[in-house]
Chains A and B, each alone.
Chain A
Amino acid sequence: MHKEIVEFLNAQVPGCEATLVEAEVGDSTIFIQPSHIKAASLALRDSEKFQMNVLQVITGCDYEDRIEVSYILASFIFNTELILKVKLPKTDKDATVQIDSIVEVWTAADFQERECYDMIGVVFDGHPDFRRILCPEDWKGYPLRKDYVVEEVYNGMVVNPENKMNHEDHYFYKKIQEEQEDPKKVTFSWKD
């Protein structure tokens, strides 16, 4: 089925450059160009052969040089599933990346795109109500990026207060290491 979808997309939506990534373990995925995501979604939804009428998830995954956004579509009429992915290159460490919104194709994209923005930092152009959904409105940073560090103070509240951190128990082994002649004999369970 994936090969047919690749041929269909390359024929219907010129310029989308759909490629198939076959996988031995797990699911195969189809990569397309980010600029043609809306045209490809409309083509898949309205085609007689595939009728992908449900959008299930929009997720993002943060890699070193790029962010990959996955659109998991399903057809509840033919009982099929498809994972469509786009690669968005990252220009700067904390910068956001941009792509068109597909809220007009499926309304399910509304909340899913807001969550993708909140967690990964992908800006969707053309979204009707674009703001954070799970984190508070004035939160800084995108939590699911790999290099995310939580801020120290938020609205006057200390995020990790000292008196709740159990530091004495974590570093008790240092005291034992000083007492012993051979510090390599001390084993401990705390990993920083």
Chain B
Amino acid sequence: MIDLQAETPEKTEKIKSDLLTVNMGPQHPATHGVLRVEIKTDSEIVAEATPYLGYLHRCMEKHSENLDYRGVIPFVDRMDYLGSMSMEWGYALTIEKMLGTEVPRRAEYIRTIVGELQRVASHLMFFGTYAIDLGAFSPFLYAFQDREDILRIFEELSGARLLYNYIWIGGVWNDINDDQLRRIAKFCDTMEENLKKYHTLVGGNAIFIGRTANVGVISEEMAYRYGATGPVLRGSGIDWDLRKKRPYGLYEELDFDVIVGKGEKGQVGDCWDRYQVRVLEMFESIKIIRQCLDGIEEGPIIGKVPKIIKVPAGEIYMRTECPRGELGYHLISDGGKTPYRLKVKSSCFTHVSMLGEMAPGQMIADFVASIGSIDIVLGEVDR
């Protein structure tokens, strides 16, 4: 209490304050969707943060029990809407493994090209939105201009810009012609030059480094305990990439490196490391796309799949490496035309649970940087 009778400043006591509960509400430009975080703070330092989910919950797992196996693919698109090709690829691999269908070589090449282009598009989106969360306005539009080129190629291939329904069970829907392949090759060249510029512009900027180095550190033990995957795990210094450890598709024949965070600007596992892992992964994706463009073969684009798909009884858990982490599909089938139980394990759901432990002790501005660095999309968190 302030002592109003005091004459000198030494006699006044300090003002005691209580913790303030602030809602970083469902509508917020920096939470990348409808995520609500309740922060208890003393107005700058966060004492406790609890995430509240469910604002975008559409119960896709219950819907899929009434749809036939081909009809689930548009629903699966809409979960991680910024990386739809990877979601469809994971689902198609799950069903193909149960059925035992063989995917033709040309379809595998097209799937790899499209999957890696989707990874570049998703990481460009992360790059642009992370920079604008921290206040840098220019990189946002640069990233989106490059992403437009990718989306235009996807629109010509599949017919839609964001929710493709392109990778089907057994192969892909439409074929790709030589003109489109040439444009993808040209895009790879321009993208590589632009990426070097963008990495110097944002990653080398002293303000950006000041805001992201040593912030939101995820140690190796914490990453394993929470089940983190993808760039979040690799940013903590752990060499784990499903494309190398459990290869699917063509990844065994392709040559690329796994980017691991080394703590160049601060500690290992801070926000700058996760940012660097994602930007350098884009260079590796371009390397993979160039190898596929050189080696693409002629042939059919879809394998032999029965007209009405009936998956034999049993269960399977299949995981693939999506831009945001590991996506897992746990399918329990009873031999009918519709899935009995389809569970989707999304990496963003597990990453959001880490916010509660990363937050105490950070300032609110650091907390915004931490949320941006784990790169969540609420469609995948809530399904």
| A residues whose Cβ falls under 8 Å from a Cβ of B | 23-27, 29, 53-57, 59, 61-62, 70, 72, 76, 79, 81, 83, 106-108, 110-112, 115, 119, 132-136, 143-144, 148
Contacts and interface: CB of A to CB of B under 8 A. Distances in A.
B340 A134 contact: no
Contacts of B14: none
9 contacts: A56-B328, A62-B341, A72-B330, A79-B246, A107-B226, A111-B350, A133-B54, A134-B382, A135-B54
A110 B355 CA distance: 13
A24 B353 CA distance: 36
Interface stretch (B21-29, B207-215, B309-317): B309-317
Contacts of B316: 25-27
A111 B349 contact: yes
Contacts of A24: 314
Given A27-B317, A76-B238, A56 B53 contact: no
B343 interface: yes
A150 to B, nearest CB: 10
Nearest to A144: B62
A134 B57 contact: yes
Contacts of B328: 56-57, 72
Contacts of B240: 76
Given A57-B345, A59-B343, A61-B341, A83 B315 contact: yes
Contacts of B224: 53-54, 76
Interface string B77-101: 0000000000000000000011010
Nearest to A85: B315
Nearest to A27: B316
B2 interface: no
Given A108-B227, A108-B350, A70 B330 contact: yes
Contacts of B114: none
Given A25-B312, A27-B316, A134-B382, A144 B225 contact: no
